[in-house]
Amino acid sequence: MDFLLTPELSALRKEVRAFVDEHVIPNEAKIVAEDQEKKKDTLTRLRAMTRERGLYTPHLPKEYGGLGLGPMGMAALFREMGRSFVGAPAFHCDAPDQGNMDLLLRAGSPSVKERWLMPLVKAEITSGFSMTEPAPGAGADPSNLKTKATKDGDGWVIDGHKWYTTGGGDASVLIVMARTSDDPKMGATMFVVDRHAKGVEHVRDIPVMAPPLLAHREAELKFHGVRVSEDSVLGGVGEGFRMAQARLVPARLTHCMRWLGLCDRALDLCKPYILSRTSFGKELARHQAVQKMVADAVLGMHAGNLMTLHCAQMLEQGRDKEARPYSSMAKNHVAQLLVKLLDDAIQMHGGLGISEDMPFSMWYRFARSARIADGPDEVHTMVIARDYLRGAVETLV
Ligand SMILES: Cc1cc2nc3c(=O)[nH]c(=O)nc-3n(C[C@H](O)[C@H](O)[C@H](O)COP(=O)(O)OP(=O)(O)OC[C@H]3O[C@@H](n4cnc5c(N)ncnc54)[C@H](O)[C@@H]3O)c2cc1C
């Protein structure tokens, strides 16, 4: 395994890091404050700056204004952006738009690309991905899918109930997973749906643990006889489950990249406090219990980096199927690391850690969902064990 970056990628990584340090981190509070008033002035200004520098939507091919990065390039850059929770939006490669852009690019019809992809790339609109449903519908187990699409003349009619469509309330376009037959493998299809089409009801933004921020508002939506045309089908009728895997494996890896960036910044922020604050006659950093928290964080980040890069390398080489259990390992490890590390960062800061004077408690409220979104820990555990037992995981590489 060789994870050395090319000189070009190495230079880009440094450029992204410098941009995050100089322009994104100092504007975090302003972006949050503006967002509460539904304004995006500062974010829009930062996006213009990343576009000027050729760093905007780096995951997209060059003809769409991106850098044509593969998964390894994304790993290098997304970790740097992830050091700020508004970093990826400044480069316009945050979830869910980033994964949705990739899916529309890969599987959208020419008319879908023209109507939705181009405005999405330019950040004129936002998007949502609607797979999860309230019980008894699709959740950890997507095969519980209840939303139905019925063939009607030259189009389809969608009926169903979704929730946890991140950004769905403000979105202009949704990718909706619906049942089109009872076939266990080929029974689901993805449709591109105008969020403001007749019959799409935005029931509410679900109040959740984390504060509402940018695209991270969790929408509950109902679809009442929503008509869509044949060319709204993504990738082909019956391809839904396959396409979901194709979207989710790289998407969960990009989460790992961003989360590792946030881990890095959080631990870095702990240094000044534990090196200067004294307790029982010595600095906190000289107490073994504190050193254990630091060492666990460093070990966890190093392991998470290696897992993420290893899996990214597999995707880069086109070994997508083989990569699946490795993406589950990376996702499980990094999601748990993020939650634990932020909890420890709060612990090391005592009362200051709980206060909003430090960012940890806010980050923690966002981070907790990492162990549930994109498949809960237990489902990835199931995948890892299942694939190991059938010989699909090499433990020594
Ligand atoms: C912040 C956030 C954003 C999200 N964004 C989106 C989005 O944009 N689009 C979208 O479609 N969905 C989204 N989701 C939904 C997410 O993918 C689901 O919540 C997740 O897949 C779990 O489904 P569920 O909530 O229905 O849990 P359930 O299926 O009800 O599972 C509940 C719990 O049961 C346990 N469990 C389930 N299966 C197993 C098993 N096999 N073995 C052992 N234990 C098990 C786990 O502990 C699990 O947490 C988001 C969720 C969150 C929290």
- For residues 64 and 196, membership in a common domain is answered with no
- For residues 281 and 330, membership in a common domain is answered with yes
Q: Using CA positions, which residue lies closest to atom 24 of ligand 1?
A: 139
- For residues 182 and 275, membership in a common domain is answered with no
Q: Using CA positions, which residue lies closest to atom 41 of ligand 1?
A: 379
Task: State the pLDDT at residue 259.
Answer: 98
Angle between helices 320-349 and 288-316 (to 10 degrees): 160
Q: How far is the CA of 140 from the centre of ligand 1 (A)?
A: 5
Report yes or no: 88 and 216 within 8 Å, Cβ to Cβ. no
Q: Using CA positions, which residue lies closest to atom 11 of ligand 1?
A: 131
Task: State the pLDDT at residue 202.
Answer: 98
Q: How far is the CA of 207 from the centre of ligand 1 (A)?
A: 16
Q: How far is the CA of 369 from the centre of ligand 1 (A)?
A: 9
- For residues 246 and 379, membership in a common domain is answered with yes
Calpha distance 71→77 (Å, rounded): 10
Calpha distance 79→92 (Å, rounded): 14
- For residues 323 and 218, membership in a common domain is answered with no
Q: How far is the CA of 110 from the centre of ligand 1 (A)?
A: 33
Q: How far is the CA of 116 from the centre of ligand 1 (A)?
A: 28
Task: For a ligand 1 pocket test, name from 255, 379, 382 the mutation site with the most ligand atoms within 8 angstroms of its C-beta.
Answer: 379
In a domain, 151, yes or no: yes
Task: For a ligand 1 pocket test, name from 97, 133, 146, 164 the mutation site with the most ligand atoms within 8 angstroms of its C-beta.
Answer: 164
Task: State the pLDDT at residue 3.
Answer: 83
| Binned average pLDDT, 10 residues per bin, the chain of 397 residues | 88 97 97 94 98 96 94 96 97 94 94 96 96 98 97 97 97 98 96 98 97 92 97 96 88 96 98 98 98 98 97 94 96 98 98 97 97 97 97 89
**Final residue before a domain boundary, out of 168, 201, 234:** 234
- For residues 141 and 201, membership in a common domain is answered with yes
- For residues 269 and 323, membership in a common domain is answered with yes
Q: How far is the CA of 165 from the centre of ligand 1 (A)?
A: 12
Domain that includes residue 344, residue range: 241-389
- For residues 230 and 256, membership in a common domain is answered with no
Residues contacting ligand 1 via CB (< 6 Å):
96, 129-132, 135, 139-140, 164-166, 218, 369, 372-376, 378-379, 382
Q: Using CA positions, which residue lies closest to atom 36 of ligand 1?
A: 378
For position 31, which CATH number holds?
1.10.540.10
- For residues 201 and 290, membership in a common domain is answered with no
User: What are φ and ψ of residue 328, in 5° steps?
Assistant: -65, -40
In a domain, 397, yes or no: no
Q: How far is the CA of 375 from the centre of ligand 1 (A)?
A: 5
Task: For a ligand 1 pocket test, name from 339, 365, 378 the mutation site with the most ligand atoms within 8 angstroms of its C-beta.
Answer: 378
In a domain, 116, yes or no: no
For position 257, which CATH number holds?
1.20.140.10
- For residues 288 and 184, membership in a common domain is answered with no
Q: How far is the CA of 25 from the centre of ligand 1 (A)?
A: 31
Q: Which atom of ligand 1 is nearest to the CA of 218?
A: 3
Q: Using CA positions, which residue lies closest to atom 13 of ligand 1?
A: 164
**Final residue before a domain boundary, out of 187, 209, 234:** 234
- For residues 286 and 367, membership in a common domain is answered with yes
Task: State the pLDDT at residue 4.
Answer: 86
In a domain, 119, yes or no: no
Task: State the pLDDT at residue 397.
Answer: 76
Q: Within 10 A of 339 (CB to CB), how many other CB atoms are there?
A: 18
Calpha distance 369→236 (Å, rounded): 31
In a domain, 168, yes or no: yes
Tokens of 98: 């980033």
In a domain, 47, yes or no: yes
Q: How far is the CA of 310 from the centre of ligand 1 (A)?
A: 26
**Final residue before a domain boundary, out of 234, 252, 276:** 234
In a domain, 273, yes or no: yes
Nearest residue to 372 (alpha-carbon basis) of 140, 131, 215 = 140
Task: State the pLDDT at residue 1.
Answer: 75
- Report the domain count for the chain: 3
For position 230, which CATH number holds?
2.40.110.10
- For residues 12 and 67, membership in a common domain is answered with yes
In a domain, 12, yes or no: yes
